[in-house]
């Protein structure tokens, strides 16, 4: 299959349509690419939560490689979303790249990033090159992540490490069949309703003179977006978002010896963290108006308190409980 995408602001949007209509099986490739990334991030977040809950994060190298994979996936998905060059693509790229203006030489960095005084062909060419090249680095990181995991071994449901591995039985067969069933559901969505979760605004060609009524990213970025946009100061919003990400990474330095009370307390905090992230994800789709702006302020404060509490509980020795 030939490559039909053209990284030009004039015809990038039309070339996406061309892929879906005129190329052989192009509509399947486009629908699979657009929908699978959403489901992939869902599985990724479940995987991250499972590792936090079962204390797999105590393996520093494994957690660090996984954290880098997550950061690289965020970059790759953002770059790919801009390449569509719809309304959300253009204004999303404008918002994110302009965050660089908070640093002293931000204007020069943005000019280098855009390759021009505005978002034009040079930006699309640069993003297209990165979107193509970064998956190769991702491939290396995934292999390193798997290799480091095999060096240490996984933790089990009791957060203990055992050299004696379990034999294959019906439980693992059911898990594999459930995974196949999830893949089957994705295929059903692709064939019968591939546009079910796509933003309608992004079916409109990018126009610098017309901004969308409500700019919002994909669902897997909504929790960060909800934190960023509800702080009037650009620097403050970015710092809080970075603090949340860094604090989650610092969990790997905690103390993983548990008493019964410490185990129960950490379980409650982990569940609370997930609930707050889900609420922020839901809030990211709402307009910045009452009562959502007030609710967003409380949820943001609660999220920081819960993350600090998880770190505090993780670092305290178990005999204090």
- Model pTM greater than 0.75? yes
User: Which residues fall within 8 angstroms of residue 135, CB to CB, at 6 or more apart?
Assistant: 76
Q: What is the pLDDT of residues 71-85, one digit of tens each?
A: 999 999 989 888 888
Q: Domain tally for the chain? A: 2
In a domain, 271, yes or no: yes
State how far the Cα of 119 lies from the Cα of 140, in Å rounded to an integer.
31
* For range 193-202, the mean pLDDT: 74
Long-range CB pairs of 109-118, under 8 A, 24+ apart, other chains included: 118/208
Residue 200's pLDDT is what?
Answer: 76
Q: Which tens digits make up the pLDDT trace of 225-238?
A: 888 776 667 777 77
Pair of tokens at residue 315: 């670092």
Please check whether residues 152 and 58 belong to one and the same domain: yes
Res 249 pLDDT > 50: yes
Q: Which tokens in the block code for residue 81?
A: 């979303």
**Catalytic residue, candidates 116, 151, 156, 176:** 176
Looking at the structure, tell me whether residues 33 and 129 fall in a common domain: yes
Token representation of residue 55: 């204390």
Task: At 181, list the tokens.
Answer: 């069933």
Res. 1: pLDDT tops 50: no
Say whether both 137 and 74 belong to one domain. Answer: yes
Selected catalytic residue, list 47, 150, 162, 214: 150
Same domain, 140 and 289: no
Let me know whether 115 and 243 are in one domain: no
Domain boundaries, position 100? 1-156+167-210
Task: Return all residues near 97 (Cβ < 8 A) that are at least 6 apart.
Answer: 110, 113, 114, 119
Average pLDDT over residues 282-292: 81
Tokens representing 287? 């307009």
Task: Map tokens 């209509």 to a residue.
Answer: 21
What sign for the dihedral angle of Cα 153, 156, 160, 166? negative
* 150 labelled catalytic: yes
Confidence of residue 4 (pLDDT cuts 50, 70, 90): confident
Active-site residue (options: 14, 23, 154, 159): 154
Q: Are residues 124 and 173 in the same domain?
A: yes
Q: Helices 60-83 and 121-152, interaxial angle, to 10°? A: 160
Write the pLDDT tens digit of every residue in 112-165.
888 878 788 888 888 989 998 999 999 999 999 888 887 766 655 444 445 555
| Average pLDDT value for the chain | 80
pLDDT value of position 298: 85
Helix (H), strand (E) counts: the chain:
11, 0
Of 162, 175, 214, 261, the catalytic one is: 175
Confidence of residue 242 (pLDDT cuts 50, 70, 90): confident
% of the chain with per-residue pLDDT over 70 = 88
Question: 280 and 265 share a domain?
Answer: yes
DSSP secondary structure letters along 260-281: HHHHHHHHHHHHHHHHHHHHHH
What DSSP character marks residue 19? H
Range from 176-185, 279-288, 300-309 carrying the lowest mean pLDDT: 176-185
User: Is 250 inside a domain boundary?
Assistant: yes
DSSP symbol at 153: -
């Amino acid at each position: 299959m030939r490559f039909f995408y053209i990284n030009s602001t004039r015809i990038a949007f039309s070339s996406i349509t061309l892929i879906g209509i005129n190329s052989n099986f192009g509509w399947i490739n486009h629908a699979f690419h657009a929908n699978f990334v959403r489901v992939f991030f869902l599985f990724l977040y479940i995987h991250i939560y499972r590792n936090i809950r079962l204390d797999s994060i105590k393996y520093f190298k494994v957690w660090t490689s996984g954290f880098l994979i997550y950061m690289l996936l965020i970059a790759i998905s953002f770059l790919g979303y801009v390449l569509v060059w719809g309304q959300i693509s253009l204004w999303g790229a404008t918002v994110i790249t302009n965050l660089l203006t908070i640093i002293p030489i931000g204007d020069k960095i943005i000019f280098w990033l855009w390759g021009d005084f505005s978002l034009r062909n040079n930006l699309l060419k640069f993003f297209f090159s990165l979107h193509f090249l970064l998956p190769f680095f991702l491939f290396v990181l995934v292999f390193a992540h798997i290799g480091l995991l095999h060096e240490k071994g996984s933790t089990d449901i009791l957060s203990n490490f055992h050299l004696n591995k379990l034999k294959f039985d019906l439980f693992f067969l059911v898990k594999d069949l459930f995974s196949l069933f999830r893949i089957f559901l994705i295929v059903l969505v692709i064939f019968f309703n591939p546009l079910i979760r796509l933003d309608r605004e992004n079916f409109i060609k990018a126009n610098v003179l017309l901004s969308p009524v409500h700019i919002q990213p994909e669902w897997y970025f909504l929790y960060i977006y909800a934190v960023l946009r509800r702080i009037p100061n650009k620097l403050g919003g970015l710092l809080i978002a970075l603090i949340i990400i860094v604090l989650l990474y610092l969990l790997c330095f905690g103390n993983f010896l548990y008493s019964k009370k410490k185990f129960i307390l950490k379980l409650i905090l982990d569940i609370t963290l997930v609930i707050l992230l889900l609420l922020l994800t839901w809030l990211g789709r709402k307009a910045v108006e009452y009562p959502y702006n007030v609710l967003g302020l409380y949820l943001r404060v609660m999220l920081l308190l819960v993350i600090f509490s998880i770190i505090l509980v993780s670092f305290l020795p178990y005999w204090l409980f």
